[in-house]
Amino acid sequence: DMSMENHRRQLVEHGIEPFQLVVSNRYPFSSTVSDPGASEADIIEKIDIGGPTLVRAAAKNHAHVGVVTSPDQYERIEAAVESGGLSAELRLDLARAAFAHTAAYDAAVATWFERDMAHPEQIAITLKAMGALRYGENPHQEAALYSDGTPSWWSVGDLLQGKEMSFNNFVDTEAAYRLVGALPTPAAVVVKHTNPAGAAVGVSVSDAFAKAWAGDPLAAFGGVIAANVPVDRGTAEMIVENFVEIVIAPSVEADALEVFANKPNIRVMSAPLPAIAGREVRFIEGGALVQDRDLIDVGTWRQVAPGSADRRDLEVAWIVAGRTKSNAVVLVRQGQVVGAGAGDQSRIGAVQRALSIAGERSMGAVAASDAFFPFRDGLDALAQAGVEAVVEPGGSRNDDEVINAAVDHGLALFFTDRRHFLH
């Protein structure tokens, strides 16, 4: 600090020339953590000690020293030096960036050490601005995209065509890609407002898409399409016949891109499927709710009412119900979602909505409910519409009543003993 006499005296005593600029880059800790071949020793070796200390000291002394922590700042620094030196305003901006930089670095290290802890005493979350969005959920809301530094479908994926993603595009694409990633391959889904407007597994990606769109064409209009296998030309030719916002898949074949080029407003992305497990954080006023991601298990069911059922259809229905806003009831026939009641305040309301969409296609279908049936009315309605089997968590005080309803109708009933609310 050149404003302090004893500091100036120490410089003279030790023969140190004053300097106005500190440039320091960190060891690549985060990229080492992301390297699947890195050992624990490799990661620990990349924890920088001296660099952050130097940066913090320089940032504290920003009244006299500029501190540079990123190559992105070099051009601005060079221009300032050529024009006479670093202004106080620039040094302050650099100090802000430096403290944010060291905070993010320390947070990354702390997060790695807490990786095996269910509920750490403290969770360090730092987010880096990736850019402003045109607007938020509605046009009057300002919005921006931030990254926590971990690889994700949007951060490592490629936007192959179309304009930049909007706030709602990110939200819906996240929901669509998580759903399709949980389904057997090949599968395709159509999502609107985070709920599935259609979903299906098929013998090919084109078959899966055709079935998904046909599940509820009215709701699918303007939706986000996601597939869990590469999109080929035939599928692209079907997609462009409809109004869609986004297409996302692990890859898009070159001749499919030629087809999409005729509809330049469709955003086309290739990206790795999202991670299944992990921690989920939801911000509320003054804090956050932290939980493990909901993993949908199809291997531990028990049959509580006799009858035959298409196991694959039941599994597809159960997976889709678990990715649909509660209360959710989903009908599936031959790998195709033919009706979905989403976000209903009552269980019977969700049943009625799903049946109204399915119509005659409910005959021979199976049903899944994300939570238990509190009364037998839901089973009665499903059976009367021709549904042959139901999967649900069980756990109601009226389970016996519900089981009796299934037996009365000859409806196969399975309990999973696991609820899948989604809010």
The burial class, CB within 10 Å (0-12 / 13-18 / 19+), for 39 is exposed
The residues of the chain scoring below 50 in pLDDT are none
Domain final residue pick, 78, 113, 148: 113
Nearest to 216 by CA among 325, 359, 319: 359
Angle (CA) 170 174 178, round 5°: 170
- 121 part of a folded domain: no
Residue 4: predicted pLDDT: 79
Coil/strand/helix, residue 257 = helix
- 166 part of a folded domain: yes
Residue 17: predicted pLDDT: 84
Same domain, 92 and 180: no
- 223 part of a folded domain: yes
Nearest to 196 by CA among 171, 218, 179: 179
Residue 330: predicted pLDDT: 98
Same domain, 222 and 307: no
Same domain, 215 and 314: no
- 243 part of a folded domain: yes
Same domain, 266 and 310: no
Sheet holding 329-333, edge to edge: 158-161, 267-270, 244-249, 223-227, 187-192, 195-201, 336-341, 329-333, 366-369, 389-392, 412-415, 302-305
Domain membership of residue 76 as a residue range:
5-113
Same domain, 203 and 300: no
The catalytic residues are 60, 193
Q: What is the CA radius of gyration of the chain?
A: 28
Query: What are the tens digits of pLDDT across the range 263-281?
Result: 999 999 999 999 887 888 9
Both tokens of 83, joined, read 């024009």
Please state the separation of Cα 344 from the chain's center in Å. Answer: 23
Residue 393: predicted pLDDT: 97
Coil/strand/helix, residue 341 = strand
Which domain CATH number covers 371? 3.40.140.20
Alpha-carbon torsion 309, 312, 318, 321, what sign?
negative
Query: What are the tens digits of pLDDT across the range 214-246?
Result: 999 999 999 999 999 999 999 999 999 999 999
Domain final residue pick, 113, 134, 151: 113
- 126 part of a folded domain: no
Same domain, 107 and 169: no
Residue 201: predicted pLDDT: 98
Same domain, 226 and 305: no
- 286 part of a folded domain: no
- 283 part of a folded domain: no
Same domain, 258 and 319: no
Domain final residue pick, 98, 113, 128: 113
Query: What are the tens digits of pLDDT across the range 120-149?
Result: 888 888 898 999 999 999 999 999 999 988
Residue 335 phi, psi (nearest 5): 80, 0
- Number of compact structural domains in the chain: 3
Residue 398: predicted pLDDT: 96
Residue 209: predicted pLDDT: 98
Each residue of 363-391: b (16+ CB within 10 Å) or e? eebbbbbbbbbbebbbbbbbbebebbbbb
Same domain, 306 and 371: yes
Q: Helices marked H in 338-417 — which ranges?
A: 347-358, 377-384, 399-409
- 410 part of a folded domain: yes
Angle (CA) 79 84 85, round 5°: 75
Same domain, 258 and 309: no
Same domain, 260 and 171: yes
Please state the separation of Cα 126 from the chain's center in Å. Answer: 17
Same domain, 304 and 265: no
Q: Helices marked H in 35-116 — which ranges?
A: 40-45, 50-60, 74-82, 88-113
Residue 122: predicted pLDDT: 86
Distance set, CA 204 to CA 196, 228, 267 (Å): 20, 11, 22
Residue 12: predicted pLDDT: 87
